[in-house]
Structure 1
Amino acid sequence: MQNIIWTNDTGQIDAIIEEWRQEALSLAVDMAKNPKETVDEATYGVDVILNKAWKNIVDGYEIPTAQRLFETINSLDILDARIRIAADELNTEYRADEQDNLRHLELEHPVIILGQAGLWNGSRTLASIVDFDNVGDIIADSPWAGMEYETWKIDEHDDLRYVGVHHDGVNTCTFRELKANGHGEKPIEECDLLALLRASRPLGPRVRDVYGMPAPAKKYGNR
């Protein structure tokens, strides 16, 4: 089982919208009695759903009773562009929250990034060393541009891993802190994967402590 720190995949956005829908349903009676006040006091996203339901009923020349509002809210299309944009905006704020949660995990040494890009003409690997002040700074920016879906997680090896999905394939990056400021005498391009792994340590244990995440199952083994 992998521990998700943040993601913007379809399931996450659907879950946000469903939470909004359930809250909007609980406000159907209040909305029928006092629409303006109910919308004004509704939380972000819930107000979008209430307004859309109200407009659908009124535009159909129907009376916006509590029952009709309930039915309309319940049948709203979760693929509606305005609703999904609102959910995506809130989810982006969640990512900023996770950055703040991890900023106190300071890094003593540079971080080695091991990546693989799935391209239309095959895969491409990369390795680089970057200075980060803390773990929160790592997830502040996406290592790959143009991704449709992104996920930051702790993988089965207890590594901090980024996964980006795009139309040509999947791009991944693993972030590990070097055990010292140097990683050996050879240039990074000439080091094999095993040497890079031995010269670094996983960030998963520190991140898991912040969230109370379980350790990876023993059967996988750690690097």
Structure 2
Amino acid sequence: MSSRRWVVVVPVKDAQRGKTRLADVLEPAARAALVRAMALDTVEAVTACASVARVLVVTGDGPVAHGAARLPRVGVLPEPAAQAGDTGWVALDRAVSAGARRARTEAPGAPVAVLLGDLPGLDPAELTTAFDAAESGRSVLPDAEGTGTTLLTVGPGEDVESRFGAGSAAAHEALGYRRLELDLPTLRQDVDLPADLVRVIARRVGGRTQALLERLAPLPL
């Protein structure tokens, strides 16, 4: 695959509403700071991937938007306005759709990927491996547990449909995404639970996340 072909959409929720399942180990302000640090480390790792031409961050979080806009080849879109009855996952899917529409406007002939913003240890080489395996087609990479989703890909001109939430890997397969079974530990290890945080710390994390964790140490993990 030639370098710098993909447009990657990274939706990031308002940090004040993120990572509630870490409430037992982090206070609200620390959780918000962690969401922001992880998101910016994730986006920075994506920009270091030679197969990526453009990153589109869709967020309603001011610090994330400001930080992402300073990174190379990154555009920032506002999170779509909430609608009555929205759940967090519906709002995330709406953000994905907004990013995908912008991707098609900016680069109509490019393959598009959706990557979640809680991969603070992401190795850019693993993202390249996933893109090579996807072959610019409709694929889903499950998380480390095999039930969630960290990456979706579609080929040029294809619509991006997403169904994030519990059991999203199977939901995406039902939409026609091909499941990628790849040994990509940094790309599949998202952070939702304290045990996930333990695993990414044991491996490595990006600079912002590492600095934050050092300030918060010791964590009750």
Larger RCO, structure (CA 8 Å, separation 6 or more): 2
Greater strand content: 1
Which one has the largest radius of gyration? 1
Query: Does TM, normalized by the shorter one, top 0.5?
Result: no
The TM-score with structure 1 as length reference comes to 0.30
